[in-house]
Structure 1
Amino acid sequence: MPSPLFFRLSALAALPLLLASLAAGAQDARFLTYENDEFFNTDRYYTNGIQLAARHAQDTRSPSERRLLDGLCRWLGCAEGRLLFTQDSFGQLMYTPSDITVAARQDQDRPYAGLLYLERDYLFLSPDGHTLTTLDGQVGFTGRLSLAEHTQKLVHRIGDRLAPRGWSHQVGNSVAFLLSVERRSARPLLSGELGAGVRLQTNTYWRLTAGTLMSHAAGGISLAIGKDLPAVSPMPPGITHRLGGGRLGTSCLWDWVQCTAFAGLEGRYVGYKLFLQGRPGREDPGVRPRRWVGDAMLGLRLDFPRTRGPDHGPWFVQFRATRRSAEFHAPVRVPRHTFGALTLGTEF
């Protein structure tokens, strides 16, 4: 039986073919993100996520979408901004307890849970280019409808890994949704040139999320170090470069690759999270959530400007590591959790 590493490398080798088949011109960007805690030799809590996303630079909103978003932006302060791009995403999330070999219900550990979802984002950039407002809507299936149980069992069987035995005790079926707004702002006093054209860009942000999937309020700071960076960028992998303004500068050792390092800190106050607490009023497994949760993020993105083609923008690859504080209370110590996210795709 080939090793799990063989299957992961085979899947990664197929990604360029998948993304190339979805590419639709320089007005679109495509990328695939794979998140897993196995990058750090664990298999628990938020254990797997995969997302295929498409960004559209052209404004293809319907009249009803425009009216709705114009009304929201008048209230949220983005009425004068221009639509930077929209993003459509399809993905799956998977959560498990720390020991997946236990078949019995584990009331003191994180429950099994999954989500199969569709998501749309609208990003508005202020006239001065220093404020980015993101409006997001997500809807999806939880429980067996999420197919998370079948996905994990199949992957573990193919990779000859331990079989998960407790999915009969997962959070149950529902159609769930969330809505969120995020405001990111450039901080010129915390930004500046580092030498040789390399620049530090600092952004701060806040986010409000509400819905039957989760409700929380968050705030954070993100740092990006590289060349040709705009004043404000979306959350990674959304870092953008000034690709249309002539030759792209590089902070790497070679002129054919653009390197960007980034880091961030985020704190959240969690009001409700279905993946921890289960569905309200139902007999789902669940644990008592911690109200305050923090993330520390660190990553590197490599852009390859010379790979731009007639039917797609330049390719990029990115890896991000996230260290998350304990998310729930238990009689025993709940450890912090670390997971990685690998993204491969094409830019505008």
Structure 2
Amino acid sequence: MSLFSFNQSVRAGAALLAPALLACGAVHAQAPGPQQETVHFGTYENDSFFDTDRFYTNGVQLSIKRSRDQRGEFARTLARRACAWLDCDDSILLTSQTNYGQLMYTPGNITIAAAQPEDRPWAGLLYVEHAYALLSADQRTLTTLGAQVGVTGPAALAEEAQKLIHKTLDRPAPQGWHNQVGGSLAVMASAERRTALEGLSVELPGDVQLNTAGYWRLAAGNTMTYAAGGLAIVVGKDLPAVSPPPPGIANKLARDAFGPTACMLRWLQCTGFGVIESRLMGRNIFLDGRLFHHDPKVKRRNFVIDLMVGMRLDFPDTRTASHGPWFVQFKITRRSREFRSSIPVPRHRMAAITLGTEF
């Protein structure tokens, strides 16, 4: 696709989102309120929204984002050394974020107790990660540095979590967790650089903006090793030049807000977004198993594409003296086939809901 054709497609997509942002015409000013320095939000991601129970089937994450710089000297030194390579020496710390979460992967049929060597392996991850987001002096480039550590295997508690949920909801009991990828310490470091693209960003009627950013991400570790690149489109009002990735699990290195926006009603603010991301995979413990072990595994595809669309809704009138406004975000992801097999391997869809506030 040519750049001109892509630009035309971007504008056409914006035309579909713009009416929701313009429905009430004038924007009502919000009274200033206390500014909290910490944001808490939780994300629940599952494929059951699309009536499936397979592959990447469940993820939960609690995130804590802070705007105050509380880094110690060791963290500052690591950031300086990384920025010497990533050209972010002039950047200032925008946020630091800590995530606690669990990921769960299963084959297509969870009621089979026997090993399923042609299907995706059973696997779980329990993790904690920390990330720093650094904004350039011209506010057009966002660099994010992150590190994750966790455990796989029985210690990840994926079996207990899925069995409890299925029992509570009266759904079929999973039978094959004894075949899961074994226990190990799982580590991963990552760096992402996101830059505003002026040529693909436009002003729309009614003070609505369409901002486009290009980004790349590198991750290395025994959990995953990959290189990714993508385009992110954000539609809203009063947007920053480069919008951080929306909160959630698929993009863990995330900030919580795009900026003040308005649509439809005085008490409702909204922002729409769309992302296309391609990844060149070098390693994925959930498909390849552990290094130097005889874990269940399948033939991994080296090239994976994600298409994501979503909307975030903020409720400014819910701000109080003790906490900031509440927000809710909805996101849908469509992922290309991740592995090859003699049995049919469908594309995968999952949806996520994120809820949070500042306090």
TM-score w.r.t. length of structure 1:
0.90
Matched, 1:302 2:313: yes
Q: Distance in 1 between matches of 2:146 and 2:256?
A: 18
Equivalent position amino acid for 1:89 in 2:
N
1:1-348 matches, within 5 Å, as: 26-237=36-247, 238=255, 240-242=257-259, 248-250=260-262, 252-347=263-358
Shift of 1:78: 1.0
Shift of 1:241: 3.7
Report the secondary structure of 1:109's partner residue.
Answer: coil
Q: Distance in 2 between matches of 1:25 and 1:131?
A: 24
Shift of 1:25: 7.1
Does structure 2 retain, via aligned residues, the 8 Å contact 1:141–1:173? yes
Does structure 2 retain, via aligned residues, the 8 Å contact 1:28–1:312? no
Does structure 1 retain, via aligned residues, the 8 Å contact 2:57–2:106? yes
**Aligned-pair identity (%):** 53
Q: Distance in 2 between matches of 1:94 and 1:123?
A: 27
Does structure 2 retain, via aligned residues, the 8 Å contact 1:198–1:227? yes
Q: Distance in 2 between matches of 1:327 and 1:38?
A: 19
Q: Distance in 2 between matches of 1:82 and 1:239?
A: 17
Report the secondary structure of 2:138's partner residue.
Answer: coil
Does structure 1 retain, via aligned residues, the 8 Å contact 2:261–2:270? no
Q: Distance in 2 between matches of 1:97 and 1:331?
A: 14
Q: Distance in 2 between matches of 1:54 and 1:90?
A: 9
Does structure 2 retain, via aligned residues, the 8 Å contact 1:229–1:240? no
Equivalent position amino acid for 2:196 in 1:
A
Shift of 1:249: 4.5
Shift of 1:280: 1.6
Matched with 1:15 is none
Q: Distance in 1 between matches of 2:321 and 2:177?
A: 46
Root mean square deviation of aligned Cα: 1.3
Does structure 2 retain, via aligned residues, the 8 Å contact 1:137–1:177? yes
Q: Cα deviation per residue 1:65-117 (whole Å; 9 max; x = unaligned)?
A: 11121111122111110000000010000000000000000000000000000
Does structure 1 retain, via aligned residues, the 8 Å contact 2:289–2:295? yes
Q: Distance in 2 between matches of 1:68 and 1:219?
A: 24
Q: Cα deviation per residue 1:108-156 (whole Å; 9 max; x = unaligned)?
A: 0000000000000100000000000000100001000100010001110
User: Number of matched residues?
Assistant: 319
Q: Distance in 2 between matches of 1:129 and 1:160?
A: 50
Matched with 1:20 is none
Q: Unaligned stretches of 5+ in structure 1? A: 1-23, 243-247
Q: Cα deviation per residue 1:221-250 (whole Å; 9 max; x = unaligned)?
A: 0101111211112211236244xxxxx451
Q: Cα deviation per residue 1:30-69 (whole Å; 9 max; x = unaligned)?
A: 1000000001110000000000000000000011111121
Q: Distance in 2 between matches of 1:177 and 1:241?
A: 30
Shift of 1:311: 2.1
Shift of 1:333: 2.1
Does structure 2 retain, via aligned residues, the 8 Å contact 1:230–1:240? no
Report the secondary structure of 1:196's partner residue.
Answer: helix
Shift of 1:263: 0.5
Q: Unaligned stretches of 5+ in structure 2? A: 1-33, 248-254
Shift of 1:347: 4.7
